[in-house]
Structure 1
């Protein structure tokens, strides 16, 4: 019986044996972690604190992450591919022989890779600190995850001038909150999206001196110590922010949460739960963007979001989208819509002041806002006669008591019925349960505001309620000293502008953002260097303050209102593909509408293929055909928002320093009005010679219009000649010539008499140096793309598959 009992005792160990065998500390060169075995194929730190591998973010979607192993929810502290999950089958992360750690999707697409420059890499290792490192043969670290944090800092991890924390939203994508050093070397919390870029911690209503910060210090470095101290180079007298349970032996993390607050968490090792041991902002209503556009944050007594009278929620359950006017008062209806103003006492929408006017009456201030259709409301300080018209209502906040000097007057349509609508007010003693609270938000959108709990050592920590009470006491003291308040407000105006401008310059390279006209005029040296012009506008070369070379397109024929223009730009700004020109941002100021994109060194395919001194060999031409197909396939089939380019042509295909293609001007069909001043632009989107027949016939427009234009580009790549030039030399209309050419090519392909005429059709400058099968494939695809019936044309996805198949089949062949 003894042997039987021994086997029974050993069974649990035998079950765990495969997991133990596959979990390891080191990933050797040329080995992988597979998503198919995500539960067991892991890296684990030597002490077992951290694990690294694939984590499910939602159904059939995974991210390559690092997490605390023994916590209740296995808290993630770093993610490589946040915002771009991989499939649940076939994805892997591999340490390649060349020294890069590469994450690939099920189809082999590279989703993420380490940015180290060393080829002398021997292994990847997960350290006990939670740092994933790659080491050389000498043991030197050549890459580490600590240098590219996501939303969390771990003990011993530094935040420096080149790093930042970015919050996550409910869909595991980067959110709008950032934590990094500004140009003034001040470590700050910042709200950032296409419309707003605001610093909200340190409190902008206080000076840096009051916030105990040093401006323009010599270094930019912060670090979380294991004992719970967080120190930074800008902290006055190097006094740290300390955890309430300060001491060694506790596992910690500093996280920028989805609600925009920075919290230090301590782990209770007995149950795996986290508790908050320090918080940056004790009053949640001070966090910018919490209640979205037009929303107001107040205390009743818990932090609560409400819409002001005349407004309603954009998306019930999601306060980040804020409120919208029940009746529109925008400039498009301003001339036919009467307006009135609702008084919101003790309320302000911080920032977005159009200007401030001193020593005028309330009536005069009202007239300023009423006469400007872009004014959404105004703040008026009665004792000083100061007027602050506002172009955008954001960061709405109701202050306690009626002693506040802040009075907001909100513009609404005269026809709006606001009877029964309450004015949001703050009252920490209010026992009523409010109808709209921040806890009413979708759990995927915003986490609840966590309180600070009692430690296991019995130390008492602050809860938000007591924080609110202390804040009210402080505010009342400030209101007594009203003279000091107004002096501070006067000084704040210039500081706000300076802070915002500096914040713009420190924006991360990867973020789509809004530029002002002054910035772009400076970048382009007052629009001096013209790169080209077309039906959509003129393009200028420029350089931003951070050294990036950019192209600035000054758009023409934009007829959309401001809201529609920015909504379309948010869609376009989220598009990112290696064969699409990256859009960095935009300008929408007065009558100016501009796009800011990356600068592509070699200009357009048209300049090189038809007019340039560079001769594109066959390999380059085929690669360009494949790259353009990849970009269009992404727009048509992979974007969350379906995008049709509507103007595919060699002029809109740019070539970078390696002659890799990038498609420009995608999405402009969304932004531009139909028609234009350029004579080659038809009454709809497109350019003569490349427009599909359905444009002219006023039939339904689908992605197949881009397929038609791509077919023309294929013919031009093979022949080296413009179809317009061929039409002019033959004296025929271009669409007639294309029909004849397609018919001839189709007939020749069918007859099989190919070698002789292919030699004649291919660009003579190649001197016969081309791949016969690839040429034949491109011509067959061009014929299919140029079918008059859109339903018979192939999709860009199938075109790409055929090109890749031809590339694989011919990779071993010698050019003839």
Structure 2
């Protein structure tokens, strides 16, 4: 047994530049034919053959595993070219070239070789080789993999496997498998950029060093190996040293975009059975392959059967090829400029979702409002409703899938039909038409009522007009009245807030722009409030304050503390917020006897990210918070995270993406650009602060701690060193956590605290990475002053 293992090791390490004992030779002048014998050159055992195999109405040139009832193709030359017509020939010419002679007289080289070949050979390994006169290998099919790896064949860095169109068509299909330079093996659709957001499967071996290879051993071990000879990932452990006259292995990136390891049992009379030893994606999760179904369709699995289906209102592009996708049976142009009454159904599609690509988001709405808003928007085709948030999407819809374990409420816009109902009897349309009819009736009643009462109000309106005119002439118009009208906030007098807070008796916090006091509104059932006295308003003009309040008053998000009202009297400026009785995140993380469990901390982290993203992307005007820290993140009744103290931080004008201002925020959380002379400040400053908070949430400790070992004092530096050293378990101590999720979260944090603002991700990208919708790329190695603390 030991001698066999030594021989195997020797064979594995032997370079492809020399061959120790070539198979029976294919001599110069040998020729293969499509229509007559010989049409292939077999290996010594007869298990593999190189030559012409049938494909469609012609032939392809390749290598196959011989078997009955069907051969298994493992390599194909010129995959994307048209099939070879009957009558063609392959010649190993007298001058040592492998040439394809077509029936139209064209001659094409199959292998580019320098120097010229003297001998060819088809090996029992499945490798077709060309040798020079000194028996040095000058060309090998193993060096040009297509969709399959065989035993002793390696996939190296920057090399692809491309799936085939189908089991019977070896042309390049829809998916590609890449071994990245960072050592990560990833799969993604072929019609996409090499971008992490398109990856649907990964080996999670990033940052594994250079020159990683994917290997398949004769004992069925399938693994990734680094340049030092250390195995960094075993997909299979290997079972035994197989007798290759009876058992063969292959790893194939199949037409459905899934990498699988097969075992072939060589039977009697040429029979060839196979067993799947390992699969990258489980059969029940095949719909997670992005692009398995075409645009505007969705993938569903029923038992072993995978199907591509069209949503209501869509038809297959080609009914004979459902995987090509679907097309709408009405056009957006018709909906926008035609009779909108035609599109009067929002059809529910249970547990179905497409790629996150919303162009508009509505917050604090119910399902009915979400449905109606999409119906009235000519660009909206699909609306997804979740957690009082409505996500609106337009065509094309990509990477759709039905997932029963992840229920979602998805509504698809469809058109009415002559019968008044869609042909799909399983669809229950949302009754928007009826609702609108009721609205018309209500509007009619209101108009009639108004016409009756208008005369009664005419005198009052005339009187009010005169009073208003007088106030304008004398400069007595109350600016807060105008503000109330424009933003629908309650205006408080200063005396009312003095009474509500018992003369500002109980201080519950303080921020960069003032102190916060607890109070209650007796006139509102004793509602508890938090009143913030703005102390740094000396340079603020009345116009600036009013403009900012207009914007703040329109912010509504479940992860932002709700602004109830304000006070603007003379130089006094106060803001009234909802009261958060569970205190701040700082108390929860740093002062609790028992730290929150890992899953709760991850939920809180994503909620914070969503709140910041709302300020950055979804407000009427972008808001840079400028002071993201645990003390400014408050916990609601259900322990949901809500960002506070965002009101007057820094508001960008509609045409602004950056601003120039003096440093503000809290030491330890502020981005380095705040301290650079004339450096522009963008929303990426908040991303940096979020990264610091992320690390604090992971470890339940402050960014700077002195009562710890020296190497742990600065939290982000310590976490980075643990990440690089492969010791991330240290940062959570004895707590049991999902290590893959921990690594992902740490990588997101390291990107967020990059010293260069342009390198930091947007908060929207942060959310998609944290939620696992995309693979998080490896952060750059730490150069001098890569991550800083100020």
Larger radius of gyration: 2
